[in-house]
Amino acid sequence: MWNYSEKVKEHFFNPRNAKVVAQANAVGDVGSLSCGDALRLMLKVDPETEIILDAGFQTFGCGSAIASSSALTELIIGRSLTQAQQVSNQQIADYLDGLPPEKMHCSVMGQEALRAAIAHYRGEAPDEDHEEGALICKCFAVDEAQIRRAVVANGLTTLEEVINYTKAGGGCTSCHEKIELALMQILKDHPPQVARPEQIKDENWLAVEEVVASLRPHIKADGGDMTLVRVEGQQVTVELSGSCSGCMMTDMTLAWLQQKLVERMGRYMLVVTA
């Protein structure tokens, strides 16, 4: 049995904006009744400002699907289409204080419906016209583009995660090999970011941070900037931006910081760029 947050239960039993929006000028349909999950998202967009004035939904699915749809409408009403486009499926899940891993596809369905609605408003071609060979999962009508978006946006790396986030492969399982091949290619094109351990801001870090801070006004006066990234033993990693990025004087700037660090720390320090 899955554990649902109180906020998921609240949005399931008392969904917001579960309605048909009168004069909706942006409509997004995803899923299908035959697949077990379907969502229609309706938006009323101000043509002059592109602000979403109202939003409503009709969902056929589980409690998580209803709650995710409800949360989505609350996240986007009052925002411009450009701002709404930035809403991720993870933000929908976070708004609900989390979803079980097996139900993350409900938040993805909401994001896909929003994407389809905005495309409809702008007169762009719908995604349901799958290119030949692009449809991966026939049971749930999931194509490679949907899998790619979910993998890249959420850092997915396994078949199980793809199933949880897209439902692809959650039916007859005959498409598992296709999913794994697609996943292999996606990860090749978009290698997952390896999470580095969180930087411990000890006395060593604070001392280096103070030296960097003392140099920043001089660097910023020339249109550049320097940000401290990591301190690992005797190695200091900084990021240079603005006019410092690609500047011929970069080596001199790093040498300047290194000299100041040696003076402050009383030992050899190596400075590198991120």
247 is catalytic: no
How far is residue 66 CA from its own chain's centroid? 21
How far does CA 61 lie from the centroid of its chain?
A: 24
Backbone angles phi, psi at 60, to 5 degrees: -115, 110
Task: Classify residue 100 by burial, with Cβ atoms within 10 Å: 0-12, 13-18, 19+.
Answer: middle
Q: Tell me which of 30, 35, 65, 183 is the catalytic residue.
A: 35
Is 175 assigned a ligand-binding role in the annotation?
A: yes
Which residues are CB-neighbours of 53 under 8 A, at least 6 positions away? 44, 45, 46, 77
Q: For 78, left (φ over 0), alpha (ψ -120 to 50), or beta?
A: left
Catalytic one of 93, 106, 226, 269: 106
Q: Known binder of ligand: residue 172?
A: yes
247 has binding-site annotation: no
35 is in an annotated binding site: yes
Query: From the centroid of its chain, how far is CA 246?
Result: 29
Question: Mapping DSSP to helix (H, G, I), strand (E, B) and coil, where does residue 240 land?
Answer: strand
CA angle 90-93-94, nearest 5°? 85
Is residue 106 part of the annotated active site? The answer reads yes
Q: Just list the catalytic residues.
A: 35, 106
**Residue numbers belonging to the annotated binding site for Fe cation:** 35, 62, 106
**Residue numbers belonging to the annotated binding site for [2Fe-2S] cluster:** 137, 139, 172, 175
**Residue numbers belonging to the annotated binding site:** 35, 62, 106, 137, 139, 172, 175
